[in-house]
Structure 1
Amino acid sequence: MSTTTDKPPVAEQAAEDYRERLRELPPSAKLVAKVLEMDAPLSQGQLAEESLLPDRTVRYALNRLEEQDLVDSRYSFQDARKQVYFLER
């Protein structure tokens, strides 16, 4: 006996929620999120280098992503003076 539900699986719902929160952000934040999706964790300088965005724009994008709880940071293991960023899903 099988039962069917109209609810999507938890992983699919989380992915849709992530995409919906990202949809409202500016293009720079979307680009930074995509770079982090491909190669995280990265420092702010590494993000600027990979995305070809100015440091100031990367800072703005990271702030917007943090406001939406889409990105998190921790201190770098290689250089404790720097923070590295990664996606929070």
Structure 2
Amino acid sequence: MSTSLSEDGSVEHNPPTTDDEYRDRLREMPPSAKLVAKVLETDSPLSQGQLVEESLLPDRTVRYALNRLEEVDLVESRYSFQDARKQVYSLTR
């Protein structure tokens, strides 16, 4: 579930994304973001380094894809339980 700020400054909780909304948002993404999302569909949560290994994309491209996916609330991140220095990513749906 994602959150956003309302006009009065209070936090609003957005409902989870439906499959149709997920597909519509993903359709507008660049190919690298689509590939990263597909990798996260099959194996999640993953760190940025693991996404680089699984997708065979360069590190900068994976970072760009993650940023784009986070902008439209398709991916969320949290700190890894195994290594608090790393963040892991998963789909929001």
TM-score, reference length from structure 1: 0.85
- 2:43 alignment counterpart: 39
Query: Which residue identity does 1:36 align to in structure 2?
Result: L
Shift in Å at residue 34 of structure 1? 0.2
Query: Are 1:49 and 2:53 matched, yes or no?
Result: yes
- Tell me the C-alpha RMSD between the 2 structures: 1.0
Where structure 1 has 5 or more consecutive residues not aligned to the other structure, the ranges are 1-12
Counterpart amino acid of 2:59?
D
Counterpart selection for 2:22 from 18, 22, 26: 18
Supply the AA of the counterpart residue of 2:37. Answer: A
Deviation above 6 Å: which 4+ runs of structure 1? none
Gap runs ≥5 in structure 2: 1-16
Structure 1 position 31, deviation (Å): 0.1
More helix as a share of residues: 1
What is the rounded CA distance, in whole Å, between the counterparts of 2:69 and 2:85 in structure 1? 22
Q: How does 1:1-89 map to 2 (within 5 A)?
A: 14-89=18-93
Q: TM-score, normalised by structure 2?
A: 0.81
Q: Distance in 1 between matches of 2:54 and 2:45?
A: 12
Which is higher, the Rg of structure 1 or of structure 2? 1
Amino acid at match of 1:85: Y
State the alpha-carbon separation in 2 of the partners of residues 27 and 53 from structure 1.
11
Work out the percentage of aligned pairs sharing the same amino acid.
82
Aligned length: 77
Given residue 30 of structure 1, which amino acid in structure 2 is its aligned partner? K
